[in-house]
Amino acid sequence: LTRPRPRSATRHAGTAKAAAGPAPASLERRLAAAEAHCLARDAQLTALRREVLELLLRRGGCAKAYDLQDDLRRRHGRVAPTTIYRALEFLLEQQLVHRVDALNAFAACDRTGPHTQAMLVVCAACGNVTEWHDEPACEAVQARLQGGVPGFAPSTIEIKGLCAACR
């Protein structure tokens, strides 16, 4: 397996900023990659799960569950919150999505290879989320953590602060 080159991407967890979504070609590419990812893991990316991921990507890759529920309701009528949460739970399990606790939101993972932990840099003012793909930094935190809190295995490291624009 080849490891994808580290890169970062900025996402936004605005409440009604659906305009920041990706171009159609890039959206299709991300969804096709998600399909291949699930197929390889023998996981069922059902039409609904795929659609929730699509809506998340259309919102710029980061959104709150109730915004996705609104989007889905606009397309299909009444949608129970559990429908959204179950779909997000599946996407989390498949590592296609990360939970952003600092914003109470969900961010689409922009990396194709599997990774056990993620580092998310979150702007507390504007809600920008950047997935920081820095393997050595992540491993260094893990290693130091073993000295301070032995046995602890973080799944996500969130770094909260202010982005350049908000400072």
Sites of contact with Zn ion (CB under 5 A): 109, 111, 118, 123, 125-126, 128, 163, 166
How far apart CA 31 and CA 34 sit, in angstroms, is 5
Q: Which H helix or E strand runs over 11? A: strand 8-12
DSSP three-state, residue 27:
helix
DSSP three-state, residue 58:
helix
Least distance to Zn ion, CB of residue 156, Å: 9
CA nearest to 18, candidates 46, 69, 60: 60
Least distance to Zn ion, CB of residue 73, Å: 28
Q: Nearer to Zn ion by C-beta: 64 or 72?
A: 64
Least distance to Zn ion, CB of residue 165, Å: 5
Least distance to Zn ion, CB of residue 119, Å: 9
- The DSSP code sequence of 131-159 is EE--HHHHHHHHHHHHHHSTT---SEEEE
How far apart CA 19 and CA 122 sit, in angstroms, is 20
Its sign, for the CA torsion 53, 56, 58, 60, is: negative
Least distance to Zn ion, CB of residue 71, Å: 22
Q: Nearer to Zn ion by C-beta: 12 or 72?
A: 12
Q: Nearer to Zn ion by C-beta: 27 or 126?
A: 126
Q: Nearer to Zn ion by C-beta: 6 or 81?
A: 6
